[in-house]
Structure formats: structure tokens, C-alpha cells
Structure 1
Amino acid sequence: MPDSEFPRLSQILTVAQMREAEQALIDAGSSVDALMQIAGHGAADWVWRMSAHRKVTVLCGPGNNGGDGYVIAEAIRERGGHVEVVAATEPKTGAAKNARALFGGEVLGPEAEAHGDVLVDCLFGSGLTRPLSDEHLALLTRLAAHHRHRIAVDLPSGVQSDSGMLLNRGLPQYDLTVALGAWKFAHFLMPATALMGTLRLVPIGVTPLEGAAQVLDAPHIAAPAADAHKYRRGLLAVVGGRMPGAALLASVAAQGAGAGYVKLFTESPTGVPTDIVVETGELSAVLTDDRNSAVLAGPGLGRDGEARERLAVALADPVAVVADADALVLLSPRALAGRTAPTIATPHEGELIALERSFELDGTGTRPERALALAKASGMVIVAKGPDTVIAAPDGRIVCAPRASSWLSTAGTGDVLAGVIASRAAAGVPAFEAAGEGVWLHGEAARLCGAAFTARELAAKVPEALAVCL
């Protein structure tokens, strides 16, 4: 899956929440200086591992992120490493001034032509809200060009923490980003996360904050009970449409994700594997089967009057429904009126915008804020899928998925995701958790595929991804 090791149930904090968490530590008896020492020494461990005794340059800014840099530099110096500091400007906070006073090595001015193997960016951290000045941007990019490897401490300078926006053009790429205290949304949101390389977290004692977003973690999935049978494991009804291939692809993926029985409703049974049950009769008959435990509608559904009727029949089934692709364009408050069973929607960016319009939302805010607003307005679990997938529930829960393989950017992988999520829902997993498990399995299957795979190959790797969770 991602190129990171995430502690289980890791929280993601906004800038305001992080300040609140740090203040709680200070109120409990710590201090800004003590927290800076913990964070700096933790980050220095990662810098030391990457530098392997090669020359390190630490770029320090005026605030506490710069103070972290002085602590890192001193920790490297004490270990016998070759390190020098470039100060973009004089430290301006008390803790940063103290950290600089404790550094026993060389401090160079911003005009210095520093060269080395590893650049550590401690110019600005998570509190940045405005673009870097021309002078600071020029300094950062010049030093980045003169070093083979680059590490960002907390966040790359020039990134907005809560939104993942880039405040400047032309920011450098990093090999490693070391988060301090807790993850920030920018670690998982585009376009910022694309700059960050491998992600690592240095804990500083922050306790779990109620209502905080979480990082999606590998689920634990139990094997079927010894006396299980196909219906107890879950019957998933997949509603096909004008493009039968998409629904078939979703069905194949669903077979490998835990459901005991996948039934495909299609008018074109040609090419369907023999182990997928095909129904060609009236859809209302298929979806009144009280053995159904979940329904998937959308892949290849179409957008005409007949497609609307099929979606309406699917939503009338009193079980969990996963709505994907064409179904998302047809969804509206009226279509969901009277539904009491869970609904999971899996929109990409264009479909997310269409749903926001349908539910009279203005579409403003960060990606997590938009997903949560739609979840609350619609009552659905929202899987805002893409290179930065966010899952939101009507009750306020938010989960961000770590970066998955960029090779997922190929036709049909969204159908696979819908099938996997629907399969987990059919297996009896609650909607929000089913969405998370589906997203994780999808990303793990992509990791197992390697490079340049097709959607069919991705679907074939789902059982192997599931085995990782047993």
C-alpha cells in the first residue's frame, strides 16, 4: 500500500487542534522548549538514518519550526555528524532563540553557498498561511538544488497544513517528510502530499483528541465461521446496465473481498464467468429477495430513464446500497427520501461536484470539509476517491487514506473499488467501516500488482490483499 508505516488509529489534527494539544501538554507540566527537544531529537533520528554520516545542511526559519532545526542540528553534531545550519533570518520566538543558543556548530547566513548530501527544511512549519517571500523561496529552491536528498520537518515549507494547498509554485520535491506530534491533513491531501516522499511520524506525547480525523489503517478481517454458508457470508446484488463490462468487473472484485454470493443483474450475460450468478429477469424480483445483504448500483448503469428506474428499485431495497459512477449523477435528495438503510457513495472529483449541486452545497472548503458537508446533507457515507481519498460519515467521522499506487489511474479501477466496498458491506460490516476496509483493500491490491496493471488484474489481486488482513 503506501510507502509509510502508520501507527494504528493515528489521528490527523488541524493547526488549531495541534495548538490545543500542545497547550494541553504545557498545562500538564511540559514546556515549549521541552516539546521542541523531544520533536527535534525524534526528527534527528530519521535525518541521521538518511544521512549515514554524510554532510547535512539544516535550513532554519524564524519560528519554532526553525527551533526544531537547531535541535536537529545539535543532535547530529553530538553524534559526530557533519552538519551546518543556514539561518534564513534570526530566530524570533523564545524557544527558537534558546535552541539556537544550544547549538554548538556553525551557523551560516542566507547568502551562504551551502552544498551537501541532505538538506533538512525547517524554514516554516504547519502554521504557514501565506506564500513564502521571494527571498525565502529562492533560498529554499537554491539549497534544494545543491543537495542530493531533501527532508521536510513537519511539512514542506510553502504548504498549507489544513488544505494541502501549495502556497508557492516551484516548491522542491522531498524524499522524506517527518511529521511532528500528529499527522496533518496536508500529509494526505493533494497536491501537497505528492511532494513529500516517504512519511514518518515523531510522537511528542499528544493524547487522542475527541472528534479528530484518523488515518486509514489496515483492517482486521476474520475468516468465515466454521459453520458459515454463502448466505451467511453475504449476498451482494449488482445492478448492471448499458455497459455490462463495468458491472461485471465490480462483481469479480466483490467475489474476492469476502461476500459469499455475488449475483449480477444484466441483460447481456455473454462473457460472464461461470461462478457469477446472472439474473436476466425483472430487477424488482431480484431486489425483493430477502436474502440480499447489500446492493451495488452504478457501474455501467447509464443515465437514461431506464437507469433511473433501476436505481430507484435498488434504493428501495432495505439493505446497504453502494452508489457509484452513473448512479451518482442520478442521485438526489428525492431519490434518497424515505431510505433508512445505509447508503455509500463513491464519487471522484467530478461526481463529487455533481452531488454537491444536487444537495445544494456550495462546494467550498477543504476536501475533508466538502466530503463531511455532503455526508451530513445527504445522510450517506461519502468516499471521495482519488489520489487523496477521504471517507466521511454523517455523524462527523473522517478518515484519510494514505497514498496508494499512482498506477491506479487507469480505467475500471473505480468499478473495482465499488465492488470491494459493496462486498464488505454485504459481509455485514457497517457502512463507514466497510468503506474504509474497501479503500484499504483496493490500495493493497494495487501495491501487490506492481506497475502498469489493468483493472481486471487489480480485481484478481483482491483476495491476496484480503489475506494480508486475516
Structure 2
Amino acid sequence: MLRDETILFTTEEAAAADADSVGRGIEIAALMERAGYAVAASALRHFPEARKIAVLCGPGNNGGDGYVAAKVLASHGCNVAVFSWGRSSVEGAARDARERCPLPIEPISAYAPERDDLVIDALFGAGLTRPLPEPVQTLIEAVKLADASVLAVDLPTGICGNQGRMRGAAFDADVTVTFEARKPGHLLMPGRAFCGTVEVASIGMPRRIVEQHARSVSVNNPKAWQIEYPLIEANTHKYRRGHLAVFSGGRSHTGAARLAAAAGLHAGAGLVTVGVPPDALDVAAASLTAVMVRSVSSRLDVEQWLSEAKIHACVIGPGFGVGETIRDYIEVLAAKPCVIDADAITSFSSNPGQLFATFKNIGSPYILTPHEGEFARLFPDLARNDSLGKIERARLAAARSGAVVIDKGPDTVIAAPDGRCLINENAPPWLATAGSGDVLAGIAGAHLAQGMPAYEAAAAAVWLHAQAAQHAKRGMTAEDLVTAIPSALESLNPL
């Protein structure tokens, strides 16, 4: 059976799955034995040139996996040395694994890393919730200075499994071997940067147990939203595919809205119209062809437009300008599904509750697309709370605002007010370029205009946006990103 790569385990869920497996007759020692064999196999496969393998074992089950791996590697003729932390506190299956390890066991203070070493980090794994002890931090620095290779068991020591945060220091792994499913810390920054290549090994846990417990957060990919993705049927026409309205700033600030509009058209909206101030009509009209333009200069103009035209969704914020005008527009636009982006977010920084109440009172779905700074403007208390990871803060923001929140970054998190949550992982680093966020807003708007629910619309937009960047390749501009959307859409076949 193929493994479902969208599944993620929080550390609590992984522990619950272990306990459930034991309750159904699978001994924890058997799981540990298989985990240790998987680690040893990975070490032999990836690091055949290692002159010495130093296995660093902690006091918990992670350390138990290390003791098993050390025994297996020694049986294959490898030069293996075992070092422990907290030896006196080892209990249960990990203690039994240590006692079955035939090699001498020294304290980690006795290990002096060398360049040709392979370090198997089986110290603390994913469950770490406190800063690392100073001797462990010192050892991590020594391993880095020696430039030794590192294979991490479950997660590099020093990285929080749920939040991806670094607890004082962390091993910089070349390879990480985890079991049954990845953890959020494998995807969230900065943890992702410390994991190297992540391998997921099956250790005999029944698939039904994995799927039963891995429920709180998943990887964003088409499986999460494809059932809601709009199909282009043989008898469709442009009006059935939705009319998207994008609102632009003044004469010298139309570029962002034009990017969003073009992205919306490429992403499937049947019609896209850009609402622009009268002084910008000629600029917009001269640079847009398939996208229509309309003069809009007041709240009354917006009300009249929405009463005359069948608008299915709106995007407001890219290049619009901060101030009272955009707040007035949004009071009207809240009657439609909306993407609230950029300047629209900043315009409510002094009173975020006004934005939230506007949509809650009317009941229309909406998507917020903040980057880190914009998130802090709408949710300053959440941004300041160092105990919250990106998943927790996105969920709390979605619940408070009633919006689907796209908390942007290299590890974008999509959260719904009902607690559903996805982590995106397909974005290449060159997606960080001027205008990229405007393109994302346009794609999300197109999905809303085509009738997708807000959560699925946002998740699909984030994935498609990143997929387009992969097709556009290094050196791309936001304009290149727009024109790469059709190629990215081909990845959705046979949708």
C-alpha cells in the first residue's frame, strides 16, 4: 500500500498511536526494533564512506531506536561507538534495548567528533519542549565545527516536533528518518531547514491506527481540496465560470491589481473586471486586454456596480492604498466572497475588530492573506505570544476573525475558523519576489468566483501558486508566475 504523504502526526498524536498499537497487541519493543533497523538501513545506504559511526542515545524511546541501530550496524561490520545522555533515567523498552546492545556505552561528554564521522542523533527526537541542556548544545556545536555527517532519528535534536522551533541549538541533519508519518516540525521553519532529506519508514503500525490519530493537521496538496475544485464542463460558458472583481489603486499604483486580475483569469474565472479610479482608466485599459475595466471612485460607485453586474467574488488590497476609502468599499463588498489582501489588511490595523465584525454580521466567506508583518497588524497579541507556533496562531486568528487565514511564508499555513489546518510544502524559494502575493490573491479570488468554499479555495490557491513557481523556474518575475499558471493547472489532471 502506498503511504499517504499528506498525513502528519503531532507529537501527541504519535504517542497516542503508539499507545493504541500496544493496546491492540503490538509490543512497543517490536516497533522500536523495526525503527532501529530502519535507521541502520538508512545509515548504510546514505553514508557508506563513514569511518566511524557515533550513535548518540537519549533517555527515551528515541534513544532506544539508537541502541537498536547501533547493534545492527555493528553486526554489519561497521565501526560503531555508542554515547548516552541520561543513562540512569532510561526506562521501559529503551532500557531493554540498551541492555541488548553489545557495545560499550560512554557518556556523550566522551565523544570528540571528527570530519569523517557519521553522527546518528537519537537523543531527544520530536518530543522536545524545553531548551537543550548546555552539554548537548556544546556537543552540537562541536559536530558542526567538525563538519561530520548527521542522521537524525525522528527529528533533529533541538527541533520542536509540533512547532518546528529551535530549542537553543539543533543538529543540522543530512538525513532524518521518521516513522509512519512526518511531524509538523519537518515542514515548519526553521525546523525544515535542519532536517535534510526526510525519509518516512513504516515500522508495522496498522494503517487504520495512523489514520485514526493523525487528524489535526495535514500537508496541503490536491487530495485536500480536489473534490471541490471546479471542473470545466462541455456546456460551460464564461458567466458560469464566475465573474471576479479586482479593485485597483490610483494611476501610479495599478500594477498589483493588474497582476491579481491576470492571475484570476488564468486560474479559471470566466470574467475579470478591474475597478479603477477615473484617473487610472487609461493606464489600466491600455495594459489589459481580456480583463475589463470599470471606473470606480466612491462607495456609491461600488454599490451601483454590485447592483448592476453579477459579481461572484472580489479581491481588494493589492496596490489600493491604505485609508478610509478601502474600509468603505469593504463594507459593501462584504456581501460577496472576498479576498482581503495587502493594503486592505493594513487599513484595519488600528481596529481589526471592525473588519471581522463586518464579515461576521453579513455572513459572507472571506480569505485573509497576511505575511508576517501584516499578521502582526491584525493579530498583535498572537504575533507577540512566543509560546504559539505558526499552526496555533493561524488557527486562533481564523477563529477570531471568522476568515480562512493564509499565514504566508516559506511554510505557509492555511487555517479555517472550524480548526482545519494545512501546511504547504511545494513552494520553491524563488517564489519570494515582488508581486507574488498579488498573484496569490488573484488565484484565490478566481477560486471563490467559481464557487469553491473559502478553505478549499485558499488551499488550492496556495498549492497552485507554488506549483506555478516551480514551472516558472529560478529568476522568474511575478509576470512569469502568472503565465505559468496554465502549466501548473496541468498538474491537476485528470481534475
Structure 1 gaps, min length 5: none
Letter of the 2:261 counterpart: S
1:181 shift after superposition: 3.6
Give the aligned partner of residue 325 of structure 1: 342
1:344 shift after superposition: 0.8
C-alpha spacing 1:447/1:44, structure 2 compared with 1 (3 Å) = farther
Give the aligned partner of residue 377 of structure 2: 354
Deviations 1:30-69 (A, max 9, x none): 2221221232233334333312464443222222111111
Equivalent residue for 1:250, pick from 260, 265, 272: 260
Give the aligned partner of residue 352 of structure 2: none
Question: In the alignment, is the contact (CA less than 8 A) between 2:368 and 2:403 conserved in 1?
Answer: yes
C-alpha spacing 1:113/1:9, structure 2 compared with 1 (3 Å) = closer
Give the aligned partner of residue 22 of structure 1: 18
Give the aligned partner of residue 33 of structure 2: 37
Letter of the 1:278 counterpart: V
Deviations 1:140-189 (A, max 9, x none): 332344355322221111122222221114x3422222233433222222
**CA–CA distance in 1 between the matches of 2:142 and 2:152?**
15
Question: In the alignment, is the contact (CA less than 8 A) between 2:237 and 2:270 conserved in 1?
Answer: yes
Greater percentage in helix: 2
Equivalent residue for 1:99, pick from 72, 97, 100: 97
Letter of the 1:17 counterpart: E
Letter of the 2:481 counterpart: L
Structure 2 gaps, min length 5: 349-354
1:10 shift after superposition: 0.8
C-alpha spacing 1:369/1:109, structure 2 compared with 1 (3 Å) = closer
1:438 aligns with 2:461: yes
Give the aligned partner of residue 146 of structure 2: 146
1:249 shift after superposition: 0.9
**CA–CA distance in 1 between the matches of 2:105 and 2:471?**
46
**CA–CA distance in 2 between the matches of 1:404 and 1:81?**
39
Equivalent residue for 1:450, pick from 446, 456, 473: 473
Give the aligned partner of residue 9 of structure 1: 6
Give the aligned partner of residue 211 of structure 2: 207
Equivalent residue for 1:280, pick from 280, 287, 295: 295
C-alpha spacing 1:28/1:6, structure 2 compared with 1 (3 Å) = closer
**CA–CA distance in 1 between the matches of 2:458 and 2:417?**
13
C-alpha spacing 1:289/1:86, structure 2 compared with 1 (3 Å) = farther
Kindly report which structure 2 residues correspond to 1:45-64, keeping only aligned pairs within 5 A, or say none: 45-52=41-48, 54-55=50-51, 56-64=53-61
Question: In the alignment, is the contact (CA less than 8 A) between 1:10 and 1:183 conserved in 2?
Answer: yes
Give the aligned partner of residue 129 of structure 2: 129
Question: In the alignment, is the contact (CA less than 8 A) between 2:391 and 2:413 conserved in 1?
Answer: yes
**CA–CA distance in 1 between the matches of 2:287 and 2:441?**
18
**CA–CA distance in 2 between the matches of 1:216 and 1:247?**
26
Letter of the 1:241 counterpart: G
Give the aligned partner of residue 312 of structure 1: 331
**CA–CA distance in 2 between the matches of 1:97 and 1:158?**
22
1:390 aligns with 2:413: yes
Deviations 1:409-449 (A, max 9, x none): 22211111111111222222211111111111111122223
Letter of the 2:347 counterpart: L
Structure 1, 252-261 or 52-61: larger mean CA deviation = 52-61
Question: In the alignment, is the contact (CA less than 8 A) between 1:51 and 1:117 conserved in 2?
Answer: no
Give the aligned partner of residue 313 of structure 2: 294
1:290 shift after superposition: 5.5
Deviations 1:312-358 (A, max 9, x none): 222133xx21111111123423432422221111111121122225x
Question: In the alignment, is the contact (CA less than 8 A) between 2:163 and 2:188 conserved in 1?
Answer: yes
Structure 1, 408-417 or 78-87: larger mean CA deviation = 78-87
Letter of the 1:26 counterpart: V
1:6 shift after superposition: 8.1
1:229 aligns with 2:237: yes
Deviations 1:267-306 (A, max 9, x none): 3242423121222253333333553222111111211222
Give the aligned partner of residue 442 of structure 2: 419
C-alpha spacing 1:425/1:38, structure 2 compared with 1 (3 Å) = farther
Partner secondary structure for residue 30 of structure 2: helix
1:467 aligns with 2:490: yes
Give the aligned partner of residue 193 of structure 2: 194
**CA–CA distance in 2 between the matches of 1:12 and 1:156?**
16
Partner secondary structure for residue 177 of structure 1: strand
**CA–CA distance in 2 between the matches of 1:393 and 1:345?**
11
**CA–CA distance in 2 between the matches of 1:39 and 1:289?**
64
C-alpha spacing 1:433/1:42, structure 2 compared with 1 (3 Å) = farther
Question: In the alignment, is the contact (CA less than 8 A) between 2:244 and 2:313 conserved in 1?
Answer: yes
Structure 1, 266-275 or 123-132: larger mean CA deviation = 266-275
C-alpha spacing 1:184/1:312, structure 2 compared with 1 (3 Å) = same
What is the Cα-based RMSD across aligned positions, in Å? 2.6
Question: In the alignment, is the contact (CA less than 8 A) between 2:259 and 2:438 conserved in 1?
Answer: yes
Return the TM-score normalized by structure 1. Answer: 0.89
C-alpha spacing 1:363/1:137, structure 2 compared with 1 (3 Å) = closer
**CA–CA distance in 2 between the matches of 1:423 and 1:366?**
30
**CA–CA distance in 1 between the matches of 2:165 and 2:37?**
28
1:245 shift after superposition: 0.8
Aligned length: 460
